[in-house]
Each structure stands twice: as C-alpha cells, then as structure tokens.
Amino acid sequence: MELYQLSAHKLHEMLVNKEINSREVTESVLKRIEQVEDRIHAFITLTPELAMQQAALADAHIQKGNAGPLTGIPLAIKDLICTRGVRTTCGSHILENFIPAYDATVIEKLKEAGAVIVGKANMDEFAMGSSTENSFFGPTRNPWDMERIPGGSSGGSAAAVAADECIVSLGSDTGGSIRQPASCCGVVGVKPTYGRVSRYGLVAFSSSLDQIGPFSKDVKDAALLLQAICGHDFRDSTSANVPVPDFTKALADNIRGMVLGIPKECFREGLDPEVESAFREAIRTLEKLGAKTVETSLPHSEYALAVYYIIAPAEASSNLARYDGVKYGFRAKGSFDLMEMYKETRSQGFGAEVKRRIMLGTYALSAGYYEAYYRKAAEVRTLVRQDFEKAFAKCDVLLTPTAPTPAFKLGEKVDDPLQMYLSDIFTIPCNLAGLPGLSIPCGFSKQGLPIGLQILANHFQEEKMLDAAYAYEQNTEHHLRKPAL
C-alpha cells in the first residue's frame, strides 16, 4: 500500500516509530497529485515547494520527539481560507491574483501542529454552489465517476481526499458545503457547531452560517483534525469561549443505549430510492449495535430552503460589497467614472451564480421588502432552531440522508438553479440552527456512487455525533472502498 493511501493516524504511528519520515509521505502525495490531478482538478493552486519545506520542519520536530497527531501530515485547504503568501482566490476571477498578508486562525493552528500544506482546493465561486461547477477555474470531477460532480461548494477538498491527493483537508460549510460533497465523494465530512472554530481569515459568504470543518478518510482522522482547529479566538466575535474536549476519547465503538432520532420529514418526495434504502440499512445497523430509535419531527424544515435563500444571499450582498475594484482584487480596464468602474468590475469579476445571489440578497434587504423577506426569514429560522431543541429533548443524535441523490452528472442542473439548490435540502436546517453535523459513507448506488449518512447533534455535542459515526464505521466497510483511478 502506498503512503498516500493511509490515514493520518496510521501515518502518525509510523512517523513516531521512525518507520517513515514526513518528506517521504509528502513526496508520495505530490507524486499522486501528478498522476491524477489532470483528470480530477481538485486544486486551484499547488504548493510543492512550501510542502517540502514544511515536511523538513516536521521531520526536525519528530526527531526531537515533538510530534503531534498532524505533524508531517499533508493536507489541502479550501481556497477561501487565507494563507499568508499563497494565492487565495475563492474560485473567483475577482480575486484571481489575491495573495493574503496573513494566515487564517485555522492555518496558524495547523502550522503550529506541524501539518504540511500541499495546495489550495477548488470550490464554487465564493462558496456559492452545490457542484463545484461555479468555479472560475473550471469544475472538479468526482473520482468515482469523472462525468459527475464532486458536490459543492467544497468539492475540491472532498475530491482531493477521495482521490488520495492529500491525507485530510479543510472545507467550509454554509448550507451543506462540507457534508454534501463528503457524501458525493464517499469520505467523512464534519461541520462543527457554529462558533466552535474561528472564522478569522475565512473569506465571508454568509457570516451567520459559515463554519470551517474537516474532510477525512475515516472518523478518527476527522476527530484529530477537528481537535487541531477548534478553540476560542478573540479576533472572531462569533467564536464561542467554550472548552474543547478530546474528541478522540468519544470514539468508543459502543453506542448501546444511545437514542437516535429519525425525523419523519426525511422520507420526502424527491428522495432517491437507493439513498432511502441505504439510509434504512444504516439505521438497522445502528440498532443491531444496541442503539434505540425514535421517530421525531422537524415540522419547519420544509421552509428551511426558502429561509436559507433569503438569509444567505442577503448576507452575501453585504459581504461581497467590498469587491469594488478599489482596495484589492480585479479592476475592469477602461476609462470609467467611479460608478461605471464599480459596475464593470463587478459585472466582469463575478460569475453568474454569485451575481444571482447578490441580486436576490440586495432585493431582500431593500426598502419596503426587508420586513416581508429578511425579517420573516429570521423569524422562521428561530422556529427551525426550536424544532431541533424539541427533537434533542428526546434523543442523543438525529439521523438523515446527507443528500437526496447520489452525485449527478456535470452540467445536469446548471440551468435549473432550484433543482441545484434542492441538493442541500437535508443539510441546510443544521446551518440555520448552528448545529454540528457529520456525513459518513453508508452505501453505494447500483452505478457505484457513494451515498452519505448525516448525523446531527445538539450544540457543542460533537462527541455524541463522532461516537455514533465511529461505531457505525467500525462495523461496516463502506469507508474502505476506493475509486478506481
């Protein structure tokens, strides 16, 4: 087995035992990128020289006995997380040549942990999309089927892990952008509780919804990476000052007596029969392990999609106003007055989906419509959160499918935004309520496409979610299957 195929925790064991070194692991991953990247297109920017420098530094730490769980482990970073001296584009023409002068908090933490950054992963422009087809740099392809999408908006981060182009990766999740691509690519993806991970240095899409989280090949790696990036940060006013537990201690492979809530709204119109079958089989597996299931209800979840597509575009309209061709980023060429320069820069710099959402958001916030749209959406958001509070009063975690269908074909939904938006029907409510969520492989379609199981927990109870996922993983083999590249 090649080094790039191994998990982070297995590589850590080999590194501390001096069986291998980080240089060898990094070279293995970079070689793998050379082999498959031209077909997958998981990356926007590769950083092989930086990676080898960081690997050498990691090896020096390991020699001194200072190896943490991520020391010397190669990873990819979604390209909307600021990296000092390394291009950060957000998948957009308007930031095509932007090089940040500082690191995001999560990057500082990963550097302190001794991790090795191999590149910046492709994404839907400004994280707006469910397929990674909205990237200015072209789409990423699903390693399981090159004619299909990897999910979005963190499609590059998910595909890179699935294709072994990195060991673990970071993405961001605003309405399902970690969990949905994790489902499509057959990997583990975790969206932490809102406020659990600092957003300082994360280029904002929707500030009340965005959260950074890990992709990995198994649950233990997800727990290790989550551990490394969590913690209070005074530079982020939404960062929660709560203790960070040892997430790996939750991985007990024993869920006897755990109560699993099954929302009756899961079995809705549009749920693919193969996804439903895999979901029901996952429930049976967990029941055999000693968990109890109860029917729950999230009655306001049917409004979640509408609420999301008012709140998220409204916040995007405000956040993206800074890209005007004045301070940084792309500026349209020509002799314009100020208003013409704004108009031309934004018209040329943003893609169609970003412009669609800016216009939606601007409309929702405009005079005469704010009360009817944004305020009403905020009120319904509260009802969605209250539904979850009632559900968690009688269960430990909630189970749903992650996505209503397996990965669809590239181009299949580009001209039908509503159908594209429905890809996140199961993931969006979690973001509106600020809850943690996880996607884990739970089966495959007849065409060999991965299917994901979503596990949701109450605020700051990631341990319960990870515990259930780990027990499921240890008693199934879905996570062991690899795409034939």
CB 100 within 8 A of CB 84: yes
The answer to whether 153 is a known catalytic residue is yes
Active-site residue, selected from the candidate residues 92, 130, 135, 153: 153
DSSP labels for 274-336?
Answer: HHHHHHHHHHHHHHHTT-EEEEE--GGGGGHHHHHHHHHHHHHHHHGGG-SSSSSS----S--
Tokens representing residue 90 in the block? 């957000």
Tokens representing residue 400 in the block? 């749903």
Q: Bridge partners of 439?
A: 189, 454
The answer to whether 413 is a known catalytic residue is no
Active-site residue, selected from the candidate residues 78, 109, 120, 217: 78
Measured CA to CA in angstroms, residue 135 lies from 34, 104, 140, 355, 395 at distances of: 21, 22, 9, 13, 39
CA 6-9-12 angle, to 5 degrees, is 95
Distance CA 116, CA 31 (A): 15
Active-site residue, selected from the candidate residues 177, 198, 216, 301: 177
b vs e for 277-306, b when ≥16 Cβ sit within 10 Å of the residue's Cβ?
ebbeebbebbeebebebeebebebbebbbe
Distance CA 389, CA 394 (A): 9
The answer to whether 177 is a known catalytic residue is yes
Q: Specify the residue for token string 């920017």.
A: 45
Distance CA 30, CA 48 (A): 7
Phi, psi of 306 (to 5 degrees): -65, -40
Phi, psi of 424 (to 5 degrees): -105, 20
Catalytic residues: 78, 153, 177
